[in-house]
Amino acid sequence: MAEQPTTLTGVDKAAIFLMTLGEQAAAQIIKHLGPREVQKIGVAMASLQNVSRDMVNVTVDEFVTKIHEQTALGIGSDEYIRKVLVDALGEDKAKGMIDRILLGGNTKGLESLKWMDARSVVELIRFEHPQIIAIVLSYLDSDQAAEVLAALPENTRADLLLRVATMDAVQPAAMKELNDMLEVQLRGGSSGQASTMGGIKCAANILNFVERSIEAGISEQIAEADSDLSQKIHDLMFTFENLIEVDDRGIQTLLREVSTENLVLALKGTEDALKNKIFKNMSQRAADMLRDDLETKGPVRLSEVEAAQKEIITIARRLADEGQISLGGAGGEEMV
């Protein structure tokens, strides 16, 4: 029996599976993915090396088994769609997509923004009503939304994030207004149900990806406007320092995905407690080499350190979404 490729992530398995299908079939599948998914799959395809026949066989067998287990025959299609999307994308990312699919909303205009750089998105929305901009920020992935927020005028950022945090459901009329602005006609008219968007967790996720200097200013203004809401947002944020709350197995899983160069940069200037947490979850040889690299590494720009930390946080969140690790501390789920 083939050995289970335990070191492969879900994205790796998807990349292997697509590469076994051939160019045309893989292209037909990839065209249905979103920009972030395409990027992740593409990176995985480019980085896969020394894939054994056993790993391919186990990956394909696993896919076939899941297809047999998750057949839609005999159950409601809505239930099947919800289960598949939650399993594939995680609860948070799946919510908006489930609403758009099951409620018949046309989000092509919004979806097109995900393929654009932050500056281009800002050019499209900067003169719109703040609530419309907040809807856009809620819809974008957190890292892209953070780039858009940072590119907007400084005096509007806190207000926009407050609107995101206090947003609950977006009525179809507002979605129609937004799609009209993007020259896309909304299907289903204004009689459909509201779509769940925004919320405190969405605001916290966006703030996580904003540069630290900008984040401090936004946080201060939000605290002045609504101290209780500010505290709730910060309770849900996950920062690089919160990695100290991740269990040892989670840290080991994370370290397998992080390059040494990024790790050295990210650990520059961090507390000894976090460094020791990292060291103890490495082999003695790897820990000694990392210590040497940190000691010999000269001064680096703060922006480089923050960029490295944000990349590691992004990896940690992806592993958490895949169920491979549990994020502790702020933003972590309570364990029972």
pTM, 2 dp: 0.47
Dist. CA 81–CA 89, nearest whole Å: 12
What pLDDT was estimated at residue 82? 64
3-state secondary structure of 170: strand
User: Given CA atoms 129, 131, 134, 140 in this order, what sign does their dihedral have?
Assistant: negative
What pLDDT was estimated at residue 93? 57
| Among 134, 118, 110, residue whose Cα is nearest residue 34 | 110
pLDDT over 60 at 334, yes or no = no
What pLDDT was estimated at residue 106? 44
* C-alpha distance from residue 164 to each of 142, 204, 298, 331, 333 (Å): 12, 10, 40, 17, 21
The per-residue b/e assignment along 284-294, b for 16 or more CB within 10 angstroms, e otherwise, is eeebeebeeee
Q: 103-235: what CATH class?
A: mainly alpha
One-letter identity of residue 39: Q
Mean pLDDT of 149-162: 91
Q: Where are the domains of the chain?
A: 10-69, 103-235, 240-321
For residue range 128-152, what is the model confidence (pLDDT) as tens digits? Answer: 888 888 888 888 888 888 889 999 9
For residue range 220-248, what is the model confidence (pLDDT) as tens digits? Answer: 888 888 888 888 887 777 778 888 888 89
CATH code for residues 240-321: 1.10.220.30
One fold for 103-235 and 240-321? yes
Phi and psi for 195 in degrees, rounded to 5?
Answer: -100, 135
What pLDDT was estimated at residue 119? 85
One-letter identity of residue 128: E
What pLDDT was estimated at residue 190? 36
pLDDT over 70 at 258, yes or no = yes
